[in-house]
Structures are given as structure tokens and as C-alpha cells.
Amino acid sequence: MKVSLFITCLTDLFAPSVGMAVVKTLEHFGCEVEFPADQTCCGQPAFNNGYPQQARTLAQRMIRVFRGADYIVTPSGSCCAMIRDHYPHLFADDATSQPEALEFVARTYEYIEFLTKILKVDLTSYRLPEPVDFTYHYTCHMRGLGLTGDPCIDLLRQIGNCRFVPLEKAEQCCGFGGTFATKYPDISGAIVRDKVQCGNRTGAQVMIVNDGGCSMNIGGAGHRYGCKFAVRHAAELIAAALEGGQGNAGH
């Protein structure tokens, strides 16, 4: 199965190791991973700030760059939601581009969604070398993707030595919101402090956050105010379990 990776600009620059964990896990599960080097940005910042024309320009570029890929997989929920929720509208009045846009949308998946819906992976035979308690921040854009259950938690719980601890107000936004975080720092700061406090109360060593922006926000507030957990992408935990090896499963 050929998978084209849409790394997203934030992960490219700030969290390349998350990208590599995504690559390694997808390859482990038998995918042939490609990385179209012409990719840039999905246009979400422009769209969310009221510049749909600019977003459309970048959307056209995305569709061109990923032409021919079987699946497009991205480790960022919000970028995937941008594509799925808004690309169809961006091309709604353009009968020539719309079919290809819709087809592109249909081939695009968020990483966890791809693992659970397409690859249908089973992690029960893997285990972490050391026991890890993890908690899970429910990133907001998963709502738009219809991932309102807890497929990520269910998946990670299959891993041996990996224990889930619920997070208070898990569904409350972390306060990132793109330019919102910088434009309204007081409000954004109050919200993310709340998130860090809830995280600290879990006693978990790891908080799983599957979105580049949210990770920077929660991690940055955690570093400023004191944080008892590490912010990690699910791919990193899965990669660690794959390295931990197969065959000695058991909870």
C-alpha cells in the first residue's frame, strides 16, 4: 500500500522526530511511504483568518502535489480537518476543479484514523520496555473528523505495559487555536494552564497529543509552569512499542 506523507509545516520544523515515528510505524505495518518534497501548507491559517482565496491557492497546490497517491496521511488532526471540512467548500463554485478536490479529500486520513480504519492494526502483541502511564488530550479537530469516540486510546491500550489514565476536562480545548494563541495570550494562557494542571493531576508520565500546534502549546505552558508529564504524539509511543518487540505480550 502506497502512502504519501503530508508532514505539515509545524511538524517539519518543530517536531521532525514525530514525522520519523510516523514513517517507521507505517513502514512497519507494510506501507510504502513516500514524501512528496514539493508539499508546503494546507492553507489552514489563511482560511481560519478569513482569507479563503489565499487558502484556495494553497489547496490547489496540495491537490497537485499529492496527485497519484493512494492515500495521504498526516500526523496533524487540524490539517486533516482543514482538508476534509473546508476543501469541498473552497471548490464548491468550480465545477472543473471540484471533482479532483473531493477525490483528494476522500484519500486523506489523519494518522490514527488511517491505522484504525484502513490498516486496522492490532497492537496487542507489542509491549513497551518499561511500564508507561499515559493520558490523552482530545484534540479539537478530531471532532470534525468524526473521531469523537476514543479510537486512539483504544489503540494505545492494546500495547503491553501501557496504561491509560483519564484526563479531567479531556475534551476542553488546550487554547491553541492558531493565531488565537498569539492574538489573545491572556485567554489562551488561562486555558492552557488549566490543561497542564489537569494533566499534572493524572500522575501520568505521558500526555498523548496528536496535533503539532496543541503539542507546542501544552508543552510550552508545561515548561513555563511546571509539568509532570511529557507531551508525545501517539506515533512516538507506538514506535517505542514496535522497538520493544513482539512476541512477549501480556498486560
35 binds other proteins (CB under 8 A): yes
- Please give the full DSSP string across 100-144, using - where no structure is assigned: HHHHHHHHEEEHHHIIIIII----TTBEEEEEEEEEE---THHHH
Is residue 116 within 8 A of residue 151, CB to CB? The reply is yes
> How many other C-beta atoms can be found within 10 angstroms of the C-beta atom of residue 2?
11
Residues near 131 by Cβ (< 8 Å), separated by ≥ 6? 161, 162, 163
Judged by phi (left if over 0) then psi (alpha if -120 to 50, else beta), residue 66 lies in alpha
11 binds other proteins (CB under 8 A): yes
Choosing from 17, 124, 246, 248, the residue that interacts with other proteins (CB under 8 A) is 17
Choosing from 123, 181, 204, 238, the residue that interacts with other proteins (CB under 8 A) is 181
Q: Per-residue x/- mask for other proteins, residues 89 to 128, rule CB under 8 A?
A: ----------------------------------------
Residue 145: in which H helix or E strand, if any? Answer: none
Residue 73: in which H helix or E strand, if any? Answer: strand 71-74
CA–CA distance, 192 with 214 (Å, rounded to integer): 9
Choosing from 51, 131, 166, 245, the residue that interacts with other proteins (CB under 8 A) is 51
2 binds other proteins (CB under 8 A): no
Q: Which of residues 187-246 bind other proteins (CB under 8 A)?
A: 187-194, 216-217, 219-221, 223-225
Count the residues of the shown chain that bind other proteins, applying the rule CB under 8 A.
Answer: 68
Q: Give the residues lining the site for other proteins (CB under 8 A).
A: 7, 9, 11-17, 19-20, 23, 35, 37-38, 40-41, 43, 45-52, 54, 57-58, 61, 85, 140-141, 143-144, 148, 169, 171-173, 175-194, 216-217, 219-221, 223-225
